[in-house]
Amino acid sequence: MRSPMRVLQALWDCFSWSAATFFVVGSRYEVILTDRQWSAIYQYIVMACLLQIALGIYFKLYRGRYNTASFDESLGLATTMAIVAAAVGLVSLVLHAGPEFPRALTVLTPPVALLFMAAGRWSFRAITTTRSPRREHAERILIYGAGNAGTQLIRLLATDSSAPYIPVGLIDDDKAKRHLRVQGVPVVGGRSRLVDAAAERGATTIILAITAATAEMIKEVSALAEGAGLHFLVLPPLTEMVGGRVRLSDIREVDLEDILGRHQIETDLSSIASYLTGRVVLVTGAGGSIGAELARQVHRFGPKELVLLDRDESGLHAVQLSIYGQGLLDTPDMVLADIRDEGALDAIFDAHRPDVVLHAAALKHLPMLEQYPEEGWKTNVLGTLNVLRAAEKYRCSHFVNISTDKAADPTSVLGQTKRLAEQLTSWFAHISGGTYLSVRFGNVLGSRGSMLHTFNRQIAAGGPVTVTHPGVTRFFMTIPEACQLTIQAGAIGKPGEVLVLDMGEPVRIIDVARRLVAQSGRDVDIVFTGLRPGEKMTEVLFSEDEVGEHRRHPLISHVPVPPLNPSALERFRRAVPEQLRIDSSAEVVPSSEQRADLSVSAGRRNS
């Protein structure tokens, strides 16, 4: 008991036993007792105090186990009191048989002593927690949400003299909480009172303390707060908090994922990713955002060898550093190669003999491919074909091709070349006997060269932020979610399918731009540049003739893909780039006659 506070607690408990004893004696016996009875009472008090201190130290009541006046401390205090009462009462009755010891003390004194002990602690807590520390430069805040998270946050702020915020009111839409006060902080109304309450109480910041808030709610409250010039902050979902407890460090700016509602789908990958453990896994495009995260996730499952392939040496350096803590690039599992080089790929597959291929290498910038369609053809189509041929030749058991929502009803070079890649993957699924399939998803939040990076750099430069059209919408997902889908695909997909994630409602790009501008606090203009060639107003996840089926996961659809024989691909090889350059809406898919021919060819190869 080194702390003065803990010594005071022990002394207070001794005082409580003494005061309770005299209270009972005075109220029951009117202090009219014999000297022998008083002697027995003094012995009772001394034994109770000594045993209380001994048990308190043993049960760590005075060693910092419990927060003062907490429910846990109350239970510990009651347990200690019960043991002391039973032991001291029994000893007193044995030592002082007869009328010399007031027997009523053994029954009446302990609960009164416990009441005194608890009252002292509660009074101390009430005094210390209701006394707001002086913080001259702290922001005055309103806390939206008077539930568990809001209550925890107020208690933290009320007791931390270094906290940057002072709570001056609570906002809650539950009418049953209209008269609630938490640590002296009152509920001042619901959402409709938010702006007025902030003005009345001088609050400049709103903290949303509802850990289960929906994206729609976050959008509405943030729009209301920021429209009134108030700073808006949030607490993360409960699952992101350590032990479910609020910490001041949890308070953060609104994340774009909060607004978009694209919180990552929780999946127990360990139960479905056994096809990676102890196997040789090759990741193409491993230096990119998705490829790098894919490599990091695969590494956790203990593959026999993780081969990372990219034509960007800087990207390989970064991913090796993030996984292994060093970037020497001097090991054979770091492969510098271009998927356009069929000979190089054959040598790599021969050397490593991968069991699983996760194919993330691609050209993905739509406007660039509209200008240089041949480049899209060489990488997204012929490059994928090279990887597929090598995978089949060296008998890879699993091949997952990463596609895009632009492959559904494609109108751009990017979409058309990725659609061809899906069909080629389906072809090799039929002839290889392995699990060869594709995954299709929308824009990936935070990936390299993505819209978010562009907007953030434009804002940092002072603007303007360029948006193609006020009505343009897109689907979004997080990088970890995209990679989880890719890993899941190898376990739950069937050969020749494309797996499509339910992306929720599409999001307006203008809303994303406005959110980022508002979050920056800068005065930045947003200008509209017009749709680019091949660009859609609204993306779709399925082509008109595709019907998704849910099998293993409620948010993942399985769609069959018509196979495309590489020999049929060669029939219009020369026409495709020129066709794509001139007419970006042309469909580069086999005709009905070609599809029939492909089916016959596939049957011959399988036989």
Cα 573 to its chain centre, rounded Å, is 45
Q: Is the dihedral of CA 554, 559, 560, 566 positive or negative?
A: negative
Count of CB atoms within 10 A of residue 69's CB? 19
pLDDT in tens, 396-445: 999 999 999 999 998 888 999 999 999 999 999 999 999 999 999 888 87
Q: Which amino acid would we find at residue 238?
A: L
pLDDT of residue 328: 93
pLDDT of residue 184: 83
Q: Which amino acid would we find at residue 496?
A: G
Count of CB atoms within 10 A of residue 464's CB? 16
Residue ranges of domains in the chain, CATH in brackets: 4-130 (no CATH), 139-254 (3.40.50.720), 276-443+477-501+544-606 (3.40.50.720)
Helix (H) or strand (E) holding 257: helix 256-260
> What span, in angstroms and rounded, lies between the C-alpha atoms of 582 and 580?
6
Residue of 533, 544, 535, 517 whose CA lies nearest to 461: 517
Would you say residue 191 has pLDDT above 70? Answer: yes
150: left (phi over 0), alpha (psi -120 to 50) or beta: alpha
Would you say residue 541 has pLDDT above 90? Answer: no
pLDDT of residue 526: 94
% of the chain at pLDDT higher than 90: 46
pLDDT in tens, 545-570: 888 888 888 878 999 999 999 988 87
pLDDT of residue 602: 36
pLDDT of residue 271: 67
Task: Decide which of 283 and 23 is more confident.
Answer: 283
pLDDT in tens, 228-283: 989 899 988 765 665 567 888 888 887 766 766 655 555 666 667 889 999 999 99
Cis status, amide bond into 464, omega within 30 of 0:
yes
> What span, in angstroms and rounded, lies between the C-alpha atoms of 468 and 452?
14
Helix (H) or strand (E) holding 6: helix 4-29
pLDDT of residue 260: 63
CA dist 435 → 355, 399, 432, 473, 602 (Å): 11, 6, 8, 33, 16
Q: Which amino acid would we find at residue 257?
A: E
Enumerate residues 6+ apart whose C-beta is below 8 A from 308: 283, 286, 287, 291, 295, 316, 319, 320, 333, 334, 335
Overall size of the chain counted in residues: 607
> What span, in angstroms and rounded, lies between the C-alpha atoms of 275 and 571?
37
> What span, in angstroms and rounded, lies between the C-alpha atoms of 249 and 55?
37
Q: 443-445 and 476-478: which strand pairing?
A: parallel
Q: What is the mean pLDDT of residues 100-115?
A: 87
